[in-house]
């Protein structure tokens, strides 16, 4: 008989990390020598899907205005053996901000209930091709799990290639997962505030450019549009082609066009920390390392009185 799910998370604490260590671990030389491509193709997954250590997660999540129910869609159709990773549930319940990074204990408990162990080979997909799956990928990386990949093209590509789908529930055997939180992968609002003065890092904003410039409303109507002073606009869709992440050489051209050099320190941001992960994923793919992501993103920044907001609503 299976016992209760065991949580073996390492305590949530901010270890003393030096700037030198962060630079080394996010440098292209370190990344290219130690990191594999974070994307797996549908044929490659289909070949390995029955391997006992492979765990497939549906990380679909949608903006309120999209009027789609990710859990309901999963119940009706998903890759055989997949489990639903609820981005809103597997988050910090003690904040009003949406789907913020949970504690290691909570993350470990939740992914163990999905059958994930420390030795699992995790593959994440979503229902849009590439949208929210990158957020799930990033969360696993933040908690020290490196054997995690995003499925190229997600569920649409899987279906296009004629691979099987099902509406049947997956029989899940609980896993045993050790969560090792890495604070160097997460940027806070204080980090962004400090960066306004130091300009040590370049902030890349994944939202549509019209929202970045203050010319289109935010999907959360209580928030003004615009951007953090000094941030650069990089809509996550510029990194995709037909729902898939572009090849590394094309991604590098995009980053070079923004003046990003191999030694540039970066922070990714978006509306609530979801599509910022697409930029983070793209940076990893072309060797820029696992750069920091501003977890609160625009929801926190624009929702906090007194934070400066830049815009160009008239196109001046």
- Interval 72-83 mean pLDDT: 98
Q: Where are the beta strands (DSSP E) in 20-170?
A: 39-40, 54-58, 83-84, 121-125, 148-151
Are 152 and 284 in a shared domain?
no
Return left, alpha or beta for 153; rule: phi > 0 is left, psi -120 to 50 is alpha, else beta: left
**pLDDT tens per residue, range 256-285:** 999 999 899 999 999 999 999 999 999 999
Residue 8 included in any domain: no
Are 200 and 297 in a shared domain?
yes
Distances (CA, A) of 150 to 209, 215, 311: 25, 32, 34
Are 266 and 163 in a shared domain?
no
| CA neighbor of 138 nearest in space, from 149, 127, 151 | 149
Are 79 and 145 in a shared domain?
yes
Are 176 and 191 in a shared domain?
no
Residue 30 included in any domain: no
Are 220 and 155 in a shared domain?
no
- Interval 126-143 mean pLDDT: 98
Asked if residues 290 and 221 have their Cβ atoms less than 8 Å apart, the reply is no
Contacts of 117 (CB under 8 A, 6+ apart): 175, 176, 177
Are 146 and 259 in a shared domain?
no
Pairing of strands 148-151, 186-187: unpaired
Given 132, 164, 181, which residue is the final one in a domain?
Answer: 181
DSSP β-bridge partners for residue 39? 150
Residue 142 included in any domain: yes
Residue 310 included in any domain: no
Residue 273 included in any domain: yes
Query: Which CATH number does the domain housing residue 266 bear?
Result: 3.40.250.10
Are 62 and 177 in a shared domain?
yes
Residue 10 in this model has a pLDDT that exceeds 70: no
Could you give the number of structural domains in the chain?
2
> Which residues belong to the active site?
270
- Interval 87-105 mean pLDDT: 97
Residue 25 in this model has a pLDDT that exceeds 80: no
| pTM listed for this prediction | 0.89
Residue 17 included in any domain: no
Given 181, 210, 234, which residue is the final one in a domain?
Answer: 181
Which structure tokens are listed for 113?
């209930």
Which structure tokens are listed for 221?
């109507």
The total number of residues shown for the chain amounts to 316
Looking at residue 24, its pLDDT comes to 43
**pLDDT tens per residue, range 284-301:** 999 999 999 999 999 999
Are 100 and 192 in a shared domain?
no
Are 172 and 291 in a shared domain?
no
Residue 29 in this model has a pLDDT that exceeds 90: no
Residue 2 included in any domain: no
Pairing of strands 244-245, 240-241: antiparallel
Q: Which domain holds residue 43?
A: 36-181
Separation of alpha carbons 254 and 239, rounded Å: 8
Residue 33 in this model has a pLDDT that exceeds 90: no
Are 145 and 192 in a shared domain?
no
Residue 11 included in any domain: no
């Amino acid at each position: 008989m299976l016992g209760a799910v065991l949580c073996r998370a390492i305590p949530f604490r901010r270890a003393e990390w030096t700037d030198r260590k962060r630079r080394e671990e996010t440098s292209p030389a370190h990344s290219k020598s130690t990191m594999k491509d974070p994307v797996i193709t549908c044929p490659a997954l289909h070949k390995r899907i029955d391997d006992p250590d492979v765990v497939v997660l549906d990380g679909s999540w949608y903006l309120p205005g999209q009027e789609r129910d990710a859990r309901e869609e999963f119940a009706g159709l998903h890759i055989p053996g997949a489990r639903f990773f609820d981005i809103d549930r597997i988050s910090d319940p003690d904040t009003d901000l949406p789907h913020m990074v949970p504690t290691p204990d909570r993350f470990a408990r939740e992914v163990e209930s999905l059958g994930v162990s420390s030795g699992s080979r995790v593959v994440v997909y979503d229902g849009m091709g590439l949208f929210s799956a990158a957020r799930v990928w990033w969360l696993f990386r933040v908690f020290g799990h490196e054997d995690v990949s995003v499925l190229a093209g997600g569920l649409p590509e899987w279906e296009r290639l004629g691979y099987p789908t099902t509406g049947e529930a997956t029989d899940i055997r609980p896993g045993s997962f050790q969560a090792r939180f890495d604070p160097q992968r997460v940027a806070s609002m204080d980090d962004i505030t400090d960066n306004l003065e130091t300009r040590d890092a370049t902030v890349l904003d994944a939202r549509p450019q019209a929202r970045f410039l203050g010319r289109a409303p935010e999907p959360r109507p209580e928030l003004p549009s615009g951007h953090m002073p000094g941030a650069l606009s990089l809509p996550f869709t510029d990194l995709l082609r037909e729902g898939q992440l572009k090849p590394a050489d094309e991604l590098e051209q995009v980053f070079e066009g923004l003046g990003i050099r191999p030694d540039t320190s970066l922070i990714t941001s978006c509306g609530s920390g979801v599509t910022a992960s697409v930029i983070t994923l793209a940076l990893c793919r072309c060797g820029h390392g696992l750069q920091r992501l501003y977890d609160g993103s625009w929801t926190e920044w624009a929702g906090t009185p007194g934070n400066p907001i830049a815009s160009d609503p008239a196109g001046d």
